[in-house]
Structure 1
Amino acid sequence: MTAILGGGLGGLSTGYYLLKNNMNSNNNLKLFLLEATNYCGGWIKSIRTKDYVFEQGPRTIRPKGLTGLNTLNMMQDLGLSEHIAPIKSDHPAANIRMIYVRNNLHTLPSNLMSVFTKSQPFSKPLIYALFNDIKSPYKILPDDSIYNFVERRFGKEIADYAISPMICGICAGDAKEISVKFLMKTLFEYEQNHGGVIKGLFKSFLKPKSDTDLDLSELAKKAQEEKWNVYTIKGGLETFPDTLQNHLIENNVNVSLNTKVNEIEFVDSSSVVLKQANGETHTANHVYSSIPAYALANLVKKQHPRLAQTLSDIPFVTVGIVNLYFDKDEPLIQPAFGFLVPPIENSPILGVVFDSCCIPDQKGTVLTVMLGGKWYKEKFGENATEKMLLEVALKEIVKILDIKIDPTAYHVNILKQCIPQYVIGHYERVAKIREYIASNNLPISLVGCSYDGVGINDVIYSAKQQVEENPCLQG
């Protein structure tokens, strides 16, 4: 008997891969999933109407790289190919991304020629950043913040106006705290091994390219051929976890909602008991935990306080989401993906996504304002209300986008402790957690955004890897 703890995308994907691997073996898989809330899907949640879709969490998926292609394989296998809406490389949402600096919106460079041209807010053409890398000294470091690394290699302006807002958009975090290995592990290794990024790039060109062993689906091949930038699902991204959940149920996985576990007891290396507050228990040979690290810490602290402490050391941030719908025939914004606000601007918002440009079948103008993140408590205090966030969002929309009419519809959500922060030392911390589990022969595997990446593709691929690393534990 195998248990999955948590019905977010990590838990659902774990169930998918356990079923998939079981089809190729003779194991008699008995699998159950426990979810504390009344729905599966985690932070992926869509509000659908005939006129608009409000996305409460992620709204698009990147098709690039091994993890992106792996997700597309899953999409096709689940029968979602016909529901996918791609944004190709020539679409405004793919090549027009802006930042708000000194009371103005600036379009970031998006092609090779633009790096040779001076564009605000940068004081020089971006090609000068490459010269900075060539002439700059380097430090031997086990890890560093992504801000420090970029400032050292490419200059302060790149760190302030390119990397810092990008980190806000990806994980609502502070680039001065986030590990360089979060997004730039390879570039950091170039610096550490070769003295600079450009030097490392040149040497990497001389090495033979290693092919992945991933067999591409027709959908994945299509994404490559048509040069998709990102994609979403018609009718809302929530269709994805809904389809995954139905797939599990159709394959005899027992999915239990409103089932909150408050303690995990490890009996031995092949027996674990999941205890509920009402006294009910669930026994399994192995458990895959997809819940946040801080939540898992509370469940294991009685038996394994050291493990609980290390899990608790992974910080999380809260993000406010304000969705706005304006029922006007003429667009209120220029076609673009949206804009981000660098932390140096000291703004109450992280950025705005132009959903009516990114998501199909939207009428009027649809925007999503993101607030808080690393600075949530600083900007809004301990007891921020949805009304407060709405007022701030509308004020910033008037100031930045000059939209002075009231929205026809809106929705505000406060996503508490929703995104983990991969601060300096994160990957060493995760290795320490997994080493503790291995050395104590605990029958548990860790999946989800707390450990191996915060994006949708990362979470899915993490589930795939953890299932493949424990093939003998599925029966």
Structure 2
Amino acid sequence: MAAILGGGLGGLSTGYYLLKNNLNSNNKLKLFLLEATNYCGGWIKSIRTKDYVFEQGPRTIRPKGLQGLNTLNMMQDLGLSEHIAPITPDHPAAKNRMIYVRNNLHILPSTLISAFKKNQPFSKPLIYALFNDIKSPYKELQDDSIYNFVERRFGKEIADYAVSPMICGICAGDAKEISVKFLMKTLFEYEQNHGGVVKGLMASMFQSKSDSDMPLSELAKRSQEEKWNVYTIKGGLKTFPDTLQNYLVENEVNVNLNTKVEELEFIDSSSVALKSSDGNSLTANHIYSSLPSYALAKLVEKQHPELAKDLNEIPFVTVGIVNLYFDIVEPLIQPAFGFLVPPIENAPILGVVFDSCCMPDQKGTVLTVMLGGKWFKEKFGDDVTEDTLLGIATSEVEKILKIKVKPTASNVNILKKCIPQYVIGHYERVDKIREYIAANNLPISLVGCSYDGVGMNDVIYSAKKQVEGSPCTA
């Protein structure tokens, strides 16, 4: 018997892959999923009405790369193909991504031609960044912050106005702390192995490229042919985990809501007891934990304090999400994905997503304002109220987007410790955690955003790889 801890996207995906891998087995795997709250889906939450959808967590998914194509394979298998709403390269949400600098919105260059032109707030055409890389000295390092790496190779303006806001948008973090391996591992390896990014790119052109042998669904092939930028699901992204949960239930997975595990007791290499808050105990042959690392640390610290210490050292940040709906026929914003605010601007918000441009079937104007992240406590303290965040969000929207009318509807959610921060040394720390588990023969696999990537594609692919490498697939 196997037990999955957590009913977020990582836990649900783990159940999906365990079922798939067990299809051809003579011994049907008995599977339990334990979720502490009264719903599955984790941070993916959609508020649906007849006029708009408020996404309180993720809203779009990238189709690119092995992980992105893998997610599309899952989408088709679950019967979600007809619900997909893609954004193609000619869509304003793909072409127009902005940053807010010195009281002005600037569209970031998105084409090769634009790289040869001077675009505010950059003082030179972006092509000059390549010349900076060619002349910059080589520095031998095991890891570095993504900010330091970009500043060293491409210049301070690229680090401040391109990479720093991008990190805010992806993980609500500080580029001066986040590992370069988080987003630019290949470019960092070019520098370390060849002395520079351009030199590494030139060398890679003469190397044979190995394509993945992963079979592609018709949906995945379509995304490649149409060159999707991102995509979402009609009616809200919550449809995805809802469908996954239904798939598990239909295939006789025991999904237990409102079941909080208080402690894990490892008996031997193929037996672990799960002690829940109601005093009951469940024994499993293997555990798949999709819990945040800090939550898992509490469950193992009694038997394995060293493991708990390493798990607790993965930092997390809190993000405020404010959804705004304006019931006005005239468009209040220019068509775009939205804008991000570089940390150097010291603004109270991280950025704004123009949901009514990115998501289908939205009436009026729908915006999502993101606040806090790495700077949540610094800017808002420990006891900030939802009303305070709503006031800050509406004030910034009025100032930056010149929207003078009051929102017709709004929603505020404070997502406490929702995004892990892959700071310098993160990947070595994760290796150490998994090496400890292997050395002590603990029947547990780690999935989810704490370890192998914070994006939805990363979480799903992490579940797949951990299931394939675990002893419960036979």
Shorter-chain TM-score range = over 0.9
- In the aligned structure 1, how far is the partner of 2:215 from the partner of 2:473? 23
Check conservation: 2:259, 2:277, Cα contact below 8 A. no
The alignment status of 1:71 with 2:71, answered yes or no, reads: yes
- In the aligned structure 2, how far is the partner of 1:349 from the partner of 1:445? 36
Q: What is the root-mean-square deviation in Å for CA atoms of aligned residues?
A: 0.6
- In the aligned structure 1, how far is the partner of 2:291 from the partner of 2:210? 34
Deviations 1:4-63 (A, max 9, x none): 000000000000000000113333210010000000000000000000000000000000
> How many residues get paired?
474
Cα drift, residue 407 of structure 1: 0.3
Task: Give the secondary-structure state (helix, strand or coil) at the position aligned to 1:100.
Answer: strand
The alignment status of 1:473 with 2:472, answered yes or no, reads: yes
Deviations 1:110-135 (A, max 9, x none): 00000000010000000000000000
Report the equivalent of 1:191.
191
- In the aligned structure 1, how far is the partner of 2:399 from the partner of 2:139? 42
Report the equivalent of 2:448.
448
Report the equivalent of 1:260.
260
**AA of the residue aligned to 2:101:** V
Report the equivalent of 2:11.
11
Report the equivalent of 1:330.
330
Report the equivalent of 1:415.
415
- In the aligned structure 2, how far is the partner of 1:404 from the partner of 1:173? 30
Report the equivalent of 1:126.
126
- In the aligned structure 2, how far is the partner of 1:301 from the partner of 1:474? 28
Check conservation: 2:191, 2:197, Cα contact below 8 A. yes
Deviations 1:59-84 (A, max 9, x none): 00000000000000000000000000
Report the equivalent of 1:316.
316
Cα drift, residue 138 of structure 1: 1.6
Check conservation: 2:348, 2:392, Cα contact below 8 A. yes
- In the aligned structure 2, how far is the partner of 1:24 from the partner of 1:352? 47
Deviations 1:223-252 (A, max 9, x none): 000111000000000000000000000000
Cα drift, residue 96 of structure 1: 0.3
**AA of the residue aligned to 2:59:** R
**AA of the residue aligned to 2:57:** G
Check conservation: 2:323, 2:366, Cα contact below 8 A. yes
- In the aligned structure 2, how far is the partner of 1:278 from the partner of 1:85? 43
- In the aligned structure 2, how far is the partner of 1:184 from the partner of 1:54? 32
Cα drift, residue 211 of structure 1: 1.2
**AA of the residue aligned to 2:228:** W
- In the aligned structure 2, how far is the partner of 1:153 from the partner of 1:24? 51
- In the aligned structure 1, how far is the partner of 2:472 from the partner of 2:442? 12
Q: Which ranges of structure 2 fall in alignment gaps of 5 or more residues?
A: none
Check conservation: 1:9, 1:42, Cα contact below 8 A. yes
Report the equivalent of 1:305.
305
- In the aligned structure 2, how far is the partner of 1:211 from the partner of 1:338? 34
- In the aligned structure 1, how far is the partner of 2:448 from the partner of 2:190? 28
Percent identity of equivalent pairs: 82
- In the aligned structure 1, how far is the partner of 2:388 from the partner of 2:337? 26
- In the aligned structure 1, how far is the partner of 2:368 from the partner of 2:385? 17
- In the aligned structure 1, how far is the partner of 2:452 from the partner of 2:446? 9
Cα drift, residue 95 of structure 1: 1.0
- In the aligned structure 2, how far is the partner of 1:156 from the partner of 1:24? 55
Report the equivalent of 1:98.
98
The alignment status of 1:343 with 2:343, answered yes or no, reads: yes
Q: Which ranges of structure 1 fall in alignment gaps of 5 or more residues?
A: none
**AA of the residue aligned to 1:156:** K
Report the equivalent of 2:401.
401
Check conservation: 1:115, 1:127, Cα contact below 8 A. yes
- In the aligned structure 2, how far is the partner of 1:366 from the partner of 1:281? 46
Check conservation: 2:2, 2:30, Cα contact below 8 A. yes
Deviations 1:119-160 (A, max 9, x none): 100000000000000000021100000000000000000000
The alignment status of 1:375 with 2:381, answered yes or no, reads: no
Report the equivalent of 1:177.
177
Cα drift, residue 181 of structure 1: 0.1
Report the equivalent of 1:62.
62
- In the aligned structure 1, how far is the partner of 2:333 from the partner of 2:182? 32
Report the equivalent of 2:431.
431
- In the aligned structure 1, how far is the partner of 2:227 from the partner of 2:473? 38
Report the equivalent of 1:277.
277
Task: Give the secondary-structure state (helix, strand or coil) at the position aligned to 1:266.
Answer: strand
Deviations 1:341-382 (A, max 9, x none): 000000010000000000000000000000000000000001
Q: What's the TM-score, normalizing by structure 2?
A: 1.00
- In the aligned structure 1, how far is the partner of 2:472 from the partner of 2:15? 13
Report the equivalent of 1:141.
141
Check conservation: 1:27, 1:474, Cα contact below 8 A. no
- In the aligned structure 2, how far is the partner of 1:187 from the partner of 1:87? 27
- In the aligned structure 1, how far is the partner of 2:27 from the partner of 2:77? 22
Check conservation: 2:52, 2:325, Cα contact below 8 A. yes
- In the aligned structure 1, how far is the partner of 2:37 from the partner of 2:228? 34
- In the aligned structure 1, how far is the partner of 2:302 from the partner of 2:384? 33
- In the aligned structure 2, how far is the partner of 1:24 from the partner of 1:69? 24
- In the aligned structure 1, how far is the partner of 2:242 from the partner of 2:365? 27
Q: What's the TM-score, normalizing by structure 1?
A: 0.99
**AA of the residue aligned to 1:21:** N
**AA of the residue aligned to 2:346:** N
- In the aligned structure 1, how far is the partner of 2:55 from the partner of 2:394? 18
Deviations 1:318-361 (A, max 9, x none): 00000000000010000000000000000010000000000000
Check conservation: 1:2, 1:474, Cα contact below 8 A. no
Report the equivalent of 1:233.
233
- In the aligned structure 1, how far is the partner of 2:374 from the partner of 2:43? 18
Task: Give the secondary-structure state (helix, strand or coil) at the position aligned to 2:62.
Answer: coil
Cα drift, residue 474 of structure 1: 3.8
Deviations 1:84-125 (A, max 9, x none): 000001100001000000000000000000000001000000
